[in-house]
Chain A
C-alpha cells in the first residue's frame, strides 16, 4: 500500500560554472511513496512554477534506467543509495521516511562543469569515447554472422562491460575525480571480443591519453566507483585496462 510522506528537500542552485552556487530548501507535503525521485522533482518544479519562481534544473531523459542521462548526488551517494544499483530515475520515494531531509547536489568534479543547478556537462565522456572507443568497420559485403566464434562467457563479460551507460557516477564518487571505471569499461567491452583485438593497443593508449588531457584524476584504487555504479561495473575492468595499457606501452 502506498502511503504519503512529507520531507524537506535541499537542492543545489547554481547559475553556470563560474557561479559559487547555494542550497535552497523546501518542505514537500504528502508525496505518495510510489512516486519516483524524478517525478517528485517534477512536483517540486510544478509548485515553483505556480509560484512564479525559477524551476530547479536537472538532467533526465529515458527514465527507464538505460540512457545514463540522469545524475544527482542524493544524500551523499550518486543516484541515491540502492541495494542493487540503479540510476536516479529508478529511485523511489519509498526509500525515504517521513520527516527526512533530502540533500540533492550535482556531480562535483573539475571535468564536469555545472551548466545550471544540478545539470553538469559530461561531454568529456563523449570525447574519450571518440578518441578510440569503437571498432573500425570497412564497409563491404555483409559478414556471415557466425564467421567469428566467441565463447559465451566472453560475450557475456563484454556485454556486462558494455552496459556502462556513461552516467559519470564513478567520477562523482571518486575522491580523485578519476574516470577509470568508465574508461576501463569502454576499453573492456572491445578488448574481450576478437573484433576489438586488432585496435586494442591503439585504443587503450588513445582513450587513456584523452582522459588525462581532459583533467580527470588518477586512480588510487579506493573502490568508491564500483560501490556506486548503477550498472555494477567492477574494478576488475580497471585491472584489465591497466594490463591493456601496459602491454601497449611495452610493445612500443
Chain B
C-alpha cells in the first residue's frame, strides 16, 4: 500500500502541475495533450498507471478482508473514538472507493475522448466535434456542466482526506517515522495534500465559474 501509494502521489503531482498550465495558456495545455496523446510512451505509462491503481486497490481489498476477519464476528455495543484517531484514518477504504469511482468518471470524461478516441475514432473526441488533442476544449466542455463540476469537487475532497492520512501512513509503514519525524511527516503531508488538491480544484472552479475564456481579462 505504501509503495504504490507514494508512486500514485507522485503521479498526482505531475498531473496537477500539468493541469495548472490550462489556467494560463490553452496552446500550452494542448501542446502537453498532444505530447501525451496515443504515443507509445504515453500508452505504456497509462498501462503502468492502471497496474499501479489495480495493485493499490486489490491489495486494499485483501487487507480489508483480512482485517475484518481478525476483528472477529462480535462487535462492541458501545464504542468511543479517541480524539487522536482521525476520521480519514478509519475510513480509508470507503474514501478509496469514492476516489476510484471519481477516477472512472474522469476516464470517461477525458481519457475516452482523448487517448482512446485518438486510437479508435480517427483523432476526434466523441463529443462536441473536438479534436482528441484539444484538452483545453474538453475541460471547458466538461465543466460547463455543473453536475460534473460538483462531482469533481466532491471527488477532490475525498482524495484530500485520503491523502492526509495516506501520506504520513506510507512513511510510517516504510519505517521513516518516530517520535520527532511523525509530526514532521504529518505536517508535510497535510500541506502537500492541500496544495495538490487546490491545484486541481482551482482548474475545476475556474472553468465551472467562467468557462475559462471569460477569465482571461480577470486572471491576466
Residues of A within 8 A of B (CB): 10, 21, 23, 73, 75-77, 81, 103, 105, 108-111, 173, 175-178, 215-224, 226-228, 234-236, 238-240, 242-246
Contacts and interface: CB of A to CB of B under 8 A. Distances in A.
Contacts of B76: 73, 76, 105, 108
- The size bracket of the interface on B is 35 or more
Contact of B70 (A23, A109, A234, A235): A109
A178 B66 CA distance: 10
Contacts of A226: 84
Interface string B151-182: 00000000000000100110011111111011
Contact of A110 (B63, B69, B80, B177): B69
Given A76-B76, A108-B71, A178-B67, 4 more contacts: A75-B78, A105-B77, A236-B178, A239-B172
A83 B142 CA distance: 52
Interface of B: 63, 66-67, 69-86, 89-90, 92, 165, 168-169, 172-179, 181-182
B72 A235 contact: no
A10 B76 CA distance: 13
Contacts of A221: 89, 165, 168-169, 172-173
Select the residue from B75, B76, B174 with max chain A CB neighbours within 10 A. B76
Contacts of A111: 70
A227 B82 contact: yes
A57 B154 CA distance: 49
Contact of A243 (B63, B70, B175, B179): B175
